[in-house]
Structure 1
Amino acid sequence: MQDRPLEKTLYKHFGYEQFREGQKEIIEELLNGNDVLGILPTGTGKSMCYQLPSLLLEGTVIVVSPLISLMVDQVKQLKQQGMKRVVAINSFLTPMQKQQVYDHINHYKLIYCSPEMLQNAQFMQTLKEKVSVSLFVVDEAHCISQWGHEFRTDYLKLDDTLKQLNNPTVLALSATAPVHVQNDIMRQINRPDMQKHIFPMDRENIAFTVEHVTGMEEKIERIASVLKTHPVPTMIYFSSRQWTEKAAYELTQATSGLRVAYYHGGMEQTDRLLIQQQFMNDQLDVICCTSAFGMGVNKSNIRLVIHAHIPSQVESFLQEVGRAGRDGEQSVSLTFYSPGDGEIPKRFIESELPSAELVSDAIQYLQNIAQNGRLLPLQPEEIEESLQISEVQWRFLAYQFEKNGVIKGRKVVHQANWGEAYHSIVAFIKERTNIKQNKLTELLNWVHSKDCLRASLYQSFQSSYKTPVGFCCDRCDFSFNLWETSETPDRMELLGWEKELQKVFLQGEYQ
């Protein structure tokens, strides 16, 4: 390593003697000042692509991250590795703690934040005045395309953020981005000439199996049966919060000795973080969860990912399955399907965006405000109540009205072209709905496929797939009777909630 300075830095700060596939190529591009779009499989160390450059570049690295739990987990890991000049700016910080970070913001080499935080005027002003941003990272960049058009529209404002920060080098990272998503990422951040480093996303150590059952009762019975013979670290995905809680209770009763918990977005943030950390520390064996759980989980020994309900697209499915077997050992994806399961994500797709009637109602509401010379209410909740729409729907409409010149801040433009805005927004809603329904159809076709599940799963992403290490799928060679697992979950003492939270928050220290 003496003649290889990057490897020396890697070993000195992270303890690894060599890079994983794709890491070094991406890092070298960034150090040369080139924008990069990196697509690497889940569990292959994408974060190293910006953590190591942060040690070598002058200035600060901004990391845009979609989830608080993901930020907190990465900051904790980096501090444990000895990197102290790292911070996550999020709602967990008290106003006093946040001000302390702002006062010393030029001290940090890595700053994690959400796209929403980058729309905070005080935060952006602090960055512009005190920090020289050398690298701007969009982690989990598929969220730009997957979430930005609907309920997290601040992802679509990152191009303006980049201009305000004097156009630093950009790194966009993802594990699951087909070509049309890659193109959308580059288009939305206005970086059309990014250097692409695209690597096959299939994981050769994960076997796939799909079981068709009659309903939820049979699913729970089957899951319990599998866990009794294979008591391995397991994640089970459900479409509803209610089912995570119900399944966790039933599986606890049916599997003696296994420690089962549930996780969903309706829980308090501290409770969610505590459950995640207990699972990471092998204090829990099985998590019954919604899609809210997983993106921040870098646990190497997850052996089984079960989908009791299917998500709405292949990309989401692959992201969730990719949390298994990050240590390279044989792991399994088990998917259940019962008649009517496709209706759940279909209804979600149909309700996620407002209908044409709701768009019309919103325009009438805005016209009334304009005619009376008023401003939009300060609190979005007041608008949502008046229009009887969800927070997600108003967030989407607000962005679309702004994009179509109908509103500017809290001001409604009296001379707006209302008809053109209406037709533009309705056409966009139809386009997004069709895209999502086609993605759901793609996943349903896979569930019902009679051919090799591995081949058909990856065909829209890449032209070939790696030779499986161990089992392939239940169409080829896999069955649970053949899968031998030697590991027994380690039993670690569960501490009281005060001590657990103390561990999670590094004894209360944020910097």
Structure 2
Amino acid sequence: MSVNLLRKDILNQFNITSFREGQEEIINDVMHGKDVLGILPTGSGKSLCYQLPATIMEGVTIVVSPLISLMQDQVKQLKSTGFKSVIALNSFLDPNEKKRVFQQLNDYKLIYISPELLQQAQTIHYFKTIKISLFVIDEAHCISQWGHEFRPDYLRLGTVLANMNNPKVLALSATATREVQEDIIYSLNRPNIMKHVYPMDRENIAFTIEKVNKDSEKQEFIVNLLKKNRVPTLIYFSSKRKTEEIAAFLSENIPSHRIAFYHGGMDQLDRITIQQQFMNDQIDVICCTSAFGMGINKHNIRLVLHYHFPLQIESYIQEVGRAGRDGESSVSLLFYAPGDELIPNSIIENELPAVEKLDTIFMNLYQLFRKSSTFLSNKHLQEELQLNESEWRFLHYQMEIHGIIKGNIIVYQKEKWKNALSDISALIETRKSLKERKLKEIIDWIHEEECLRKHLYKSFQDSYKTPMYGCCTNCGFTINDWNAKQTEVNHTAHTWKHKLQNLLLFGDQDA
């Protein structure tokens, strides 16, 4: 298909005047019916690479997205541009509404869907009845067992594609090493996929590392920094409890700022509400875990702080990349205190079941088989085997591919179980070793004496762009001299509580 992508009507619909690096090349290959793997830096407009073709191509474009809040944002943005034939299929949809959508799939040009919903036989059945012009996998690094956001439901997408008559694929990510790229290609069974890999460094972000002796020094530094700079800010933590503690501490010490916390243990509706308030400039600072941010497209985030450093460089680059998407001067500040390594080491230890416990786990599974080989729910199996969610997600997938569990029915075959135990033990050792190596990489980077920017990106690209506003701590940049564009606050605006109070004549008003 030959299409002039610079047509005025196309550019107007998406409110753009030209393409960013990589967009036009990827879109052209998609329009010519090629499978494409696109690795573009965060904030570079990856969504345009499938949204634009979806408006032009015949048939339906399906987008697998890992977060409900991300889907909702994308749908909202598209509808605001006049693109109405878009829907998000997720757990928020009422069952009757979901049934109606499935029966009218041809009415849509773009369908966002969660990877979990794609595993259901009914979903595949309905999708096989329509013409799928493009199958998009957003945040494609989630496919890779070696990626920093590995999700087994993503790894099953190769099977999903085969069941849907193998439509053309566009896989997109911002942070994928060469190893992860090859894992994505292998998992999707697309050996001839066209690769478009672009440098991921962002020249408008300066990198700073602040070494302190204890947590109280981190907190004092943040208070002073935020008092000086009222800007949209993300503060990342590795602890859910700490997000709440520090959010309360900052609210008390910086009453002028609107501060909230966000983590995976919160109610889904609460998380979406917090995210929308931040997107609409109703919150200044979010204290969050890594659960916040994937796919967030807020252009004016100025500060990304890491109270705790993440487990690996890829996670750090992904989180830092949420800053300065408008091209304005922005800063990443990472804190380090002696002993900070304890948290990531603990996370690595608890992410997968311990090898020495596998014999007991398999024995307990066998006892469940002896009691009943009928259907057992995921939750029941997880509880009976005494595994946390991360351990069970990993183990469940491995048991599936080894034929030990089929549709949540336990299948016993002595030799198969013996081989599975050996294979899973080896995989846990390999994965844990990789995680430990990745952790060492980021710790070494924190203590790097040469240019931080150069060493941050060396595993991904051969060079880096010239910094626009400042490079890094080791190259002379200091956050004390940073002049950020401040958030303007309308002091006359009232919160909904104030408006409701006035409306209902509450307070000290005369009767």
Secondary structure class of the residue paired with 2:144: helix
Q: How does 1:250-329 map to 2 (within 5 A)?
A: 250-329=249-328
Instruction: Write out the 4+ residue segments of structure 1 that deviate beyond 6 Å after TM superposition.
Output: 147-151
**In structure 1, what is the equivalent of residue 507 of structure 2?**
none
Work out the CA distance in 2 between the residues paired with 1:109 and 1:42: 25
**In structure 2, what is the equivalent of residue 78 of structure 1?**
78
Work out the CA distance in 2 between the residues paired with 1:110 and 1:284: 31
CA displacement 1:453-485 (0-9 Å, x = unmatched): 111111111111000001001111211222112
Alignment check: 8 A CA contact 2:350 2:391 kept:
no
CA displacement 1:101-141 (0-9 Å, x = unmatched): 11211111111111111111222211112x11110000011
One-letter amino acid of the counterpart of residue 394, structure 2: F
**In structure 2, what is the equivalent of residue 507 of structure 1?**
none
Alignment check: 8 A CA contact 2:60 2:109 kept:
yes
Work out the CA distance in 1 between the residues paired with 2:475 and 2:374: 59
Work out the CA distance in 2 between the residues paired with 1:494 and 1:432: 51
CA displacement 1:151-203 (0-9 Å, x = unmatched): 73111111111111111110010111111111111111111211110100000
Residue 217 of structure 1 deviates from its aligned partner by 1.3
Secondary structure class of the residue paired with 2:482: coil
Alignment check: 8 A CA contact 2:142 2:148 kept:
no
Work out the CA distance in 1 between the residues paired with 2:125 and 2:246: 47
Alignment check: 8 A CA contact 1:10 1:18 kept:
no
Secondary structure class of the residue paired with 1:417: helix
Secondary structure class of the residue paired with 1:354: coil
Identity fraction in percent: 54
1:69 and 2:90 matched: no
Secondary structure class of the residue paired with 2:384: helix
Residue 19 of structure 1 deviates from its aligned partner by 0.8
1:392 and 2:414 matched: no
Cα separation, partners in 2 of 1:45 and 1:204, compared to 1, 3 Å: same
Cα separation, partners in 2 of 1:5 and 1:156, compared to 1, 3 Å: closer
Residue 377 of structure 1 deviates from its aligned partner by 4.5
Greater CA drift, 339-348 or 392-401: 392-401
Alignment check: 8 A CA contact 1:208 1:453 kept:
yes
Secondary structure class of the residue paired with 1:323: coil
One-letter amino acid of the counterpart of residue 273, structure 2: L
Work out the CA distance in 2 between the residues paired with 1:467 and 1:220: 32
**In structure 2, what is the equivalent of residue 56 of structure 1?**
56
1:432 and 2:431 matched: yes
1:383 and 2:378 matched: no
Work out the CA distance in 2 between the residues paired with 1:245 and 1:302: 21
Work out the CA distance in 2 between the residues paired with 1:149 and 1:287: 22
Q: How does 1:31-430 map to 2 (within 5 A)?
A: 31-129=31-129, 131-145=130-144, 152-371=151-370, 374-375=372-373, 377-409=375-407, 410-430=409-429
Work out the CA distance in 2 between the residues paired with 1:407 and 1:267: 31
Greater CA drift, 426-435 or 374-383: 374-383
Contiguous gaps of at least 5 residues in structure 2:
501-511
Work out the CA distance in 1 between the residues paired with 2:268 and 2:146: 21
**In structure 2, what is the equivalent of residue 476 of structure 1?**
475
Secondary structure class of the residue paired with 2:469: coil
Alignment check: 8 A CA contact 1:142 1:174 kept:
yes
Work out the CA distance in 2 between the residues paired with 1:474 and 1:151: 32
Q: How does 1:18-33 map to 2 (within 5 A)?
A: 18-33=18-33
Residue 391 of structure 1 deviates from its aligned partner by 2.7
Cα separation, partners in 2 of 1:394 and 1:150, compared to 1, 3 Å: farther
Residue 62 of structure 1 deviates from its aligned partner by 0.6
CA displacement 1:37-59 (0-9 Å, x = unmatched): 10111101000000000011111
Work out the CA distance in 2 between the residues paired with 1:165 and 1:85: 22
Residue 80 of structure 1 deviates from its aligned partner by 0.7
Cα separation, partners in 2 of 1:11 and 1:150, compared to 1, 3 Å: closer
Report the TM-score, using the length of structure 1 for normalisation. Answer: 0.93
Secondary structure class of the residue paired with 2:73: helix
Work out the CA distance in 2 between the residues paired with 1:102 and 1:478: 54
Residue 357 of structure 1 deviates from its aligned partner by 3.0
Contiguous gaps of at least 5 residues in structure 1:
501-511
Q: How many residues align?
A: 495
Secondary structure class of the residue paired with 2:399: helix
One-letter amino acid of the counterpart of residue 275, structure 2: Q
Cα separation, partners in 2 of 1:38 and 1:72, compared to 1, 3 Å: same
Secondary structure class of the residue paired with 1:20: coil
Aligned Cα root-mean-square deviation (Å): 2.0
One-letter amino acid of the counterpart of residue 176, structure 1: T
Work out the CA distance in 1 between the residues paired with 2:297 and 2:441: 28
Residue 487 of structure 1 deviates from its aligned partner by 2.3
Residue 359 of structure 1 deviates from its aligned partner by 1.9
**In structure 1, what is the equivalent of residue 506 of structure 2?**
none
Work out the CA distance in 2 between the residues paired with 1:58 and 1:279: 36
